Structure 1
Amino acid sequence: MRGLDHKISVVAGAAPGNIGAATALRLASEGATVVAADLDLAAAEAVAEEIRAAGGRAVAGQVDIGDEGSFAKLLNKAARDLGGVDHLFNVAADLSADTIGVDSTNDITTLPLAAWQRTIDVTLTGYMYGIRHALPLMRARGGGSIVNTMSAAVWMAEPIRAAYSAAKAGVAALTRHTARIAGREGVRCNAVAPGTVLTASLLRTLPEAEQARQLAEIASPRLGRPEDVAAAVAFLFSDDGGWVNGQVISVDGGLTMRG
């Protein structure tokens, strides 16, 4: 895609086998210099090493997106060491048993407040931290692009995952707000909304029977792969996506078919 060569792309949530890692690899293959960041520094380093082994440019970083200071430190270090920040992909999430696991087995009447709050702190407030500290760096560069990760769950009215769905719905409003305040300065902000994507973490927990049930509900011959979302993010970061701003792009195999 046009316009990605030598751009500096920060991926916040780049664990191997997941959407962030696939996106880091795709951006590097398009010529970007990638900062692969994750709460697990060893996981981030594994992704950065894979990129370097393939001839790309990448460094690893550690970030807890639920900690504003941690996110600011990551972005400012990228700007200082690499010369700036052009792209930010917010994709990190708390997929632990205590958070998404609890959220996935309760509705709003029984969901423990701790699981609700942790989900909001990471998936919504954490993304806000990244945007808050990326915008000045992108404005200093004369432009940039931010992509946030939503979910098809926002439109599905599930009987579980109230915290996850509410946080992801909030990401849509945050995305449009950011596009509104920064678009005239050349900083675009969009979101991708994946359906069922067979990441490494999901494959560990989603039985084959449930995969088959979900496949039967979509207008596609297969479930998603991390690379499907990575391609959409690369487009939104590229010059080819240069007139796309404030949008939510569904990458869900035809699950939602929103008008």
Structure 2
Amino acid sequence: MHRCWWRQDFGKVNVRGCPLLDLSTIIKTIFSSSHCKTTRIYSKQITDRSISTMNTSRVRDQDLAGKVAVVTGASRGIGRAVALNLASRGCSILGTCSSTENIAMINSLNQEIDTIFEGTARKQKITILGISANILSPTCAKTITNTLVEHFSSRVDIFINNAADGRDAALGELTVEGIQESLISNIQTPVLIVEEFVKRKMFQPEGRIIYISSIRSRQPWSHQLMYSAGKSAGESLCRTWSQAFGGKEEEFSFMAGTTANSVTVGLTQTDSIMKCPPDALEDFKKEFFPLQSSPRFGQPEDVADVVGMLCSRDARWITGQVISASGGGVKIG
């Protein structure tokens, strides 16, 4: 019963910074009309599993000022939420999408950031740029690096590999083309992007590499064999990158202190999920909700806040890890 509000101590209550008070006094205060109203509202929010998370578009500490992040798949969903999180902390963004039609969705982040900073003494001194760089294209990595040279002074501090190929393909129906495209999208292209950043020495010291993985890497489904395999491979890539780029190997000393982690994402309310037929959505709920500590759809912002935390300097001692952002659906450790 509201244990986060106090700590019981043999009939007394230790309120931080206050002397011990009678328990009866505290109880009367908590259950006054104003507190009861708050409690009822909070309880309703917990009960309503369809409720969205709090709007996280806000001015944050400018701990990423002067940094540059590359976010693939930044036009919508998790990628866009991550880009907004980083930009609101002073980070410039190069966001990619699969087609020119979606570039405007990335560039519109400029207006959203302007709105966030309105009425504050802080000024927006960042660049947000969207480009078309399809992860199936063999030129994807070079398109990104060439844009960094032209618009971002040839530097990258943060790389978020979010874009992926999550197509369904039932066992017995796999094709050579489908297998190859899945491998290219989920493994080959992320590797080539990091390779270009390393070869051109674009990565800065204490950089961040974050691979967006999936709950499917641990809870497989026969209709997503290649997707599950690709995400598992992505987690392995991060373990190797973390070993190489942390500062032990002299040839990568220019980016010493760089961390590499993957974030395994659970059932999240993205466009691709919500476009599924109603019966498929119900099946997902039945599969995942019982496993989750918080039985609801995750929001892109839920994941973005976890990714954003890993991008901070406070997370400098976390590397080579898989972090679960699944409401408890995947418990690692």
Name the CA distance, whole Å, in 2 between partners of 1:68 and 1:183.
28
Aligned residue type for 2:146: N
2:175 is matched with 112
Deviation for aligned residue 1:147? 0.6
Kindly provide the CA deviation profile for residues 26-58 of structure 1, in whole angstroms up to 9, marking residues without a partner as x.
111111111121112332332222333432531
Change (3 A) 1:165 1:111: same
Deviation for aligned residue 1:87? 0.8
Deviation for aligned residue 1:175? 0.9
Structure 2 counterpart of 1:23, from 76, 82, 96: 82
Runs of 5+ unmatched residues, structure 1: none
Deviation for aligned residue 1:119? 0.7
Name the CA distance, whole Å, in 1 between partners of 2:70 and 2:277.
29
Deviation for aligned residue 1:11? 0.5
> Are 1:73 and 2:143 counterparts?
yes
Aligned residue type for 1:130: I
Structure 2 counterpart of 1:234, from 308, 311, 320: 308
Q: How many residues end up aligned between the 2 structures?
A: 250
Larger mean CA deviation between 180-189 and 137-146 belongs to 137-146
2:187 is matched with 124
RCO (CA 8 Å, sep 6+): is it higher in 1 or 2? 1
Name the CA distance, whole Å, in 2 between partners of 1:247 and 1:113.
32
Name the CA distance, whole Å, in 2 between partners of 1:23 and 1:69.
24
Runs of 5+ unmatched residues, structure 2: 1-60, 115-123, 248-255
Aligned residue type for 2:294: S
Kindly provide the CA deviation profile for residues 37-85 of structure 1, in whole angstroms up to 9, marking residues without a partner as x.
1112332332222333432531111212233422222123224422211
Partner of 2:106: helix, strand, or coil? Answer: helix
Larger mean CA deviation between 185-194 and 137-146 belongs to 137-146
TM-score by length of 2: 0.70
Structure 2 counterpart of 1:89, from 147, 154, 160: 160
Aligned residue type for 2:97: D
1:146 is matched with 209
Identity %: 26
1:33 is matched with 92
Is the CA contact 1:85–1:138 (under 8 Å) kept in the aligned structure 2?
Answer: no
Structure 2 counterpart of 1:12, from 64, 72, 83: 72
Change (3 A) 1:179 1:223: same
> Are 1:51 and 2:125 counterparts?
no
Aligned residue type for 1:187: T
Name the CA distance, whole Å, in 2 between partners of 1:197 and 1:212.
11
1:134 is matched with 197
Name the CA distance, whole Å, in 1 between partners of 2:192 and 2:180.
16
Partner of 2:71: helix, strand, or coil? Answer: strand
Deviation for aligned residue 1:139? 5.7
1:63 is matched with 133
Q: Which has the higher helix share?
A: 1
CA RMSD of superposed structures (Å):
2.0
Partner of 2:297: helix, strand, or coil? Answer: coil
